[in-house]
Amino acid sequence: MALKRRQDGDPYGTGLGVLEEEPEGGRGTPPLGMVDVSGPSMNPTLNHGDQVLVRYGARLRPGAVVVARHPLRQNLLLVKRAVERRRGGWWLLSDNPFAEGDSRDFGTVPDELVLGRVLLRLRPHPVWLAPAGWLERLLRRRPLGSVPGLAARLGVFTRISAEM
């Protein structure tokens, strides 16, 4: 399964590019795809030029890194953190608090525009971004949660933003 993207699709540095072809599903298993990240909005989790593996149609939970269509420019894809479910969809924020182009600007993103969950960063070096629920709960406990960088390295979101 391949995504075709034009390289000129993200003039604001907030997303991934223009999606020219929808991902195709296969016999009940959500498809996987690789996507290149563009822009600084997900620093420090993801950087410009990183390549991520996305599971389209995956079940989401708060804290997951997701790929979604921009609600106002639906040909633009975004990589954002799903912070919480709200009436009308998901509240998506950038990990970089100084970046624009998230739910603080355009509000909630309807469920049908959230395409999938980022499982791991493939390049420049692999990092898992979607731990299982039981592992996430374990990493939030003390003393494991207090080990510097352990939770972040395994993709557990612990920072709560005041803009929610």
- pLDDT at 3 (0 to 100): 37
Kindly state the average pLDDT of the residues 146-152. Answer: 57
Q: In this predicted structure, what is the pLDDT of residue 66?
A: 94
What integer pLDDT is reported at residue 63 of this predicted model?
85
How do residues 51-96 score in pLDDT, each as one tens digit? 999 999 988 888 889 999 999 998 889 999 999 999 999 999 999 9
Would residue 59 count as lying in a domain?
yes
pLDDT bucket at 154, cuts 50 / 70 / 90? low
CATH of the domain at 49: 2.10.109.10
Alpha-carbon distance values, 25 to 22, 52, 135, 150 (Å): 9, 19, 28, 34
Asked if the structure places residue 149 within a domain, the reply is: no
| 136 found inside a domain | no
89 is a domain residue: yes
d(CA 156, CA 13): 25
125 exposed, middle or buried (CB, 10 Å; 0-12, 13-18, 19+)?
A: exposed
Q: Is residue 151 part of a domain?
A: no
Q: Which residues contact 131 (CB under 8 A, 6 or more apart)?
A: 139, 154, 155, 156
- Cα separation, 108 vs 90, whole angstroms: 5
Provide the domain limits for residue 56. 5-131
Would you state the pLDDT for residue 118? 92
Query: What pLDDT sits at residue 155?
Result: 53
Question: How far apart are alpha carbons 45 and 81 in whole angstroms?
Answer: 10
Q: How many domains does the chain have?
A: 1
84 in a structural domain: yes
Which residue is listed with tokens 């909630």?
Answer: 108
Q: Distance between CA 117 and CA 64 in Å, rounded? A: 7
In terms of DSSP bridges, do strands 32-36 and 15-19 run parallel, antiparallel, or are they unpaired? unpaired
| Residue burial 54-84, b: 16+ Cβ < 10 Å; e: rest | bbbebebeebbbbbbbbbeeeebbbbbbbbe
Amino acid 125: pLDDT: 80
